[in-house]
């Protein structure tokens, strides 16, 4: 270092209080600023007397990206200093430790792993919406706020779609933490947000089994993940549910096209395990056969970086669409119009995830009767009807799910589902107008007013005709 840092030293109005940590490329100090009660941390790059430019390039990358980030899933940016006389970044100090502090406890109870995974997936989705790929997701770069949100830290290896990619411009080698790097990163492809989903899959695997799926490779060993699949989690942890193994192994697919299309879709499955479609991944107990591995090895020998869409393009092709389906008697024509509209959305949004939702209305104060006269469950009946409604949609089974929600306020239940699951688009039917609906307000109008996303309201052809005299 060119500077002798000591407690009490003041840099641009920030007083150094305590040396917190020394990482591979930076120092962390807690700092205070007069008149500002916010807990702050200063990050100072390690500029050693060597020819290695990596620390300063990573610092410049982080200094460009952090001021453009906002929201609960990133540290709040406060200030930055230029290279001369002293580079630094000051940001909000997140209370507590990173998930690295949990590594001594692995394997963790699988329900806790699922909860962690859902939080990190939602944080990644928020980051990707801001046109940033993290490219170094690992336990030490994830913190959990006291309010429960996951916070992603350390953007030295990150890529912002609308900023220069200094690492790609100045180096011809892959960057990341080797146990967590996606296959395309090994090939120096830094443009695919699904690389972050692979890294999250590695983290989930490690927390569930206590072992890293690809070990801790060095040098050329890292290319093995282009053809070698990991030991299935249930072979190491028999109590791991099949649906969780399905999710983890899908994240760890070599080809990004075979992973989840977006972090939001991954979060939806982690939050709703009963909706996960099980494939042969769920029942695997051993690695793939030698012949299958050999074929992947032959393919990997000629592997080149793929042309990937931009971040916004990838997210736009894979939205989560909520189809609010009315299954009550007399709404058959409306349900058919809704199905046709969803089919039209699918023809445009080629990787969309469809969440078919029906509301079983309950009373706010009376005792609800949730069985018919023969004692059959109304919930199950609705679920069967809902599956029948969606069966004609031309969509792979892993990209469609069905939920019957019991709620006294249908509109509030739909809005809450959309907000919790990062829904991008709601398609909802609206019945013909009536005096009662005009007085009380319709479900569709309330959803339009309160939804956190786009809403398409569908009517039947007869309801769209002008009133006859």
Average pLDDT over residues 179-192: 93
Average pLDDT over residues 415-419: 95
Local confidence band at 105 (pLDDT 50, 70, 90 cut-offs): very high
Q: d(Cα 28, Cα 8) in Å, to the nearest integer?
A: 15
Q: Fold for domain 10-92? A: Phosphorylase Kinase; domain 1 (3.30.200)
Instruction: Give pLDDT tens digits for 133-154.
Output: 999 999 999 999 999 999 999 9
Local confidence band at 440 (pLDDT 50, 70, 90 cut-offs): very low
Per the rule left: phi > 0, alpha: psi between -120 and 50, beta: everything else, 393 is beta
- The residue among 210, 194, 66 whose CA lies nearest residue 121 is 194
Does residue 260 carry a pLDDT above 50? yes
User: What's the pTM value of the predicted model, to 2 decimals?
Assistant: 0.89
Average pLDDT over residues 226-234: 92
pLDDT of residue 309: 59
Does residue 306 carry a pLDDT above 70? no
pLDDT of residue 439: 47
Local confidence band at 1 (pLDDT 50, 70, 90 cut-offs): very low
Local confidence band at 359 (pLDDT 50, 70, 90 cut-offs): very high
CA distances from 135 to 91, 122, 194, 229 (A): 20, 16, 10, 21
Boundaries of CATH 1.10.510.10 in the chain? Answer: 105-314
pLDDT of residue 467: 47
pLDDT of residue 371: 66
Local confidence band at 192 (pLDDT 50, 70, 90 cut-offs): very high
Does residue 433 carry a pLDDT above 70? no
Average pLDDT over residues 219-243: 92
45: Cβ contacts below 8 Å, ≥ 6 apart: 25, 26, 55, 56, 58, 59, 87
Boundaries of CATH 3.40.50.620 in the chain? Answer: 319-464
Local confidence band at 469 (pLDDT 50, 70, 90 cut-offs): very low
Q: Fold for domain 319-464? A: Rossmann fold (3.40.50)
Average pLDDT over residues 27-48: 90
Q: What is the mean pLDDT of the chain?
A: 89
Question: CATH for 105-314, among 3.30.200.20, 2.60.40.10, 1.10.510.10, 3.40.50.1820?
Answer: 1.10.510.10
Boundaries of CATH 3.30.200.20 in the chain? Answer: 10-92
Average pLDDT over residues 55-76: 94
- Is the peptide bond between 151 and the residue preceding it cis, with omega within 30 degrees of 0? no
Instruction: Say which residue, 382 or 308, is predicted with more confidence.
Output: 382
CA distances from 99 to 103, 133, 138, 174, 301 (A): 7, 20, 8, 24, 36
């Amino acid at each position: 270092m060119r500077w002798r840092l000591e407690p009490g030293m003041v840099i641009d109005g920030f007083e150094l209080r305590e040396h917190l940590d020394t990482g591979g490329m930076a120092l962390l100090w807690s700092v205070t600023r007069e008149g500002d009660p916010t807990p702050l941390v200063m990050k100072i790059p390690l500029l050693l007397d060597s020819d290695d430019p990596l620390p300063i390039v990573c610092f410049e990358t982080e200094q460009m990206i952090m001021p453009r980030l906002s929201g609960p899933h990133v540290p709040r940016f406060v200030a930055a200093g230029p290279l001369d006389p002293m580079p630094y970044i000051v940001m909000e100090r997140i209370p507590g430790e990173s998930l690295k502090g949990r590594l001594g406890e692995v394997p963790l109870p699988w329900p806790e792993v699922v909860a962690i995974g859902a939080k990190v997936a939602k944080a990644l989705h928020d980051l990707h919406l801001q046109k940033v790929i993290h490219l170094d997701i690992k336990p030490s770069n994830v913190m959990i706020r006291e309010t429960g949100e996951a916070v992603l830290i350390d953007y030295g290896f990150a890529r912002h779609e609308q900023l220069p990619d200094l690492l790609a411009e100045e180096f011809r080698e892959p960057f990341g933490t080797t146990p967590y790097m996606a296959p395309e990163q090994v090939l120096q492809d830094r443009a695919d947000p699904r690389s972050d989903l692979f890294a999250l899959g590695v983290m989930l695997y490690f927390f569930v089994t206590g072992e890293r799926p690809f070990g801790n490779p060095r040098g050329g060993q890292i290319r093995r993940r282009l053809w070698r699949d990991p030991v299935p989690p249930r072979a190491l942890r028999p109590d791991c549910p099949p649906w969780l193994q399905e999710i983890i192994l899908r994240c760890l697919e070599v080809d990004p096209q075979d992973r989840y299309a977006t972090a939001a879709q991954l979060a939806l499955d982690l939050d709703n395990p009963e909706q996960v479609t099980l494939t042969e991944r769920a029942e695997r107990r051993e690695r793939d056969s030698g012949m299958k591995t050999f074929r992947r090895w032959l393919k990997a020998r000629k592997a080149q970086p793929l042309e990937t869409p931009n971040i916004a393009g990838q997210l736009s092709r894979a939205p989560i669409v909520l189809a609010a389906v009315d299954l009550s008697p007399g709404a058959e024509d409306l349900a058919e119009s809704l199905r046709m509209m969803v089919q039209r959305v699918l023809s445009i949004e080629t990787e969309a995830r469809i969440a078919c939702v029906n509301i079983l209305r309950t009373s706010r104060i009376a005792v609800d009767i949730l069985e018919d006269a023969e004692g059959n469950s109304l919930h199950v009946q609705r679920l069967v009807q809902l599956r029948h409604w969606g069966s004609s949609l031309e969509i792979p089974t892993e990209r469609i799910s069905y939920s019957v929600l019991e709620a006294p306020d249908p509109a509030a239940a739909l809005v809450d589902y959309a907000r919790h699951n990062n829904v991008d688009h709601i398609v909802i039917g609206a019945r013909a107008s009536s005096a009662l609906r005009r007085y009380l307000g319709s479900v569709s109008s309330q959803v339009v007013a309160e939804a956190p996303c786009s809403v398409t309201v569908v009517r039947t052809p007869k309801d769209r005709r002008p009133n006859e005299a």
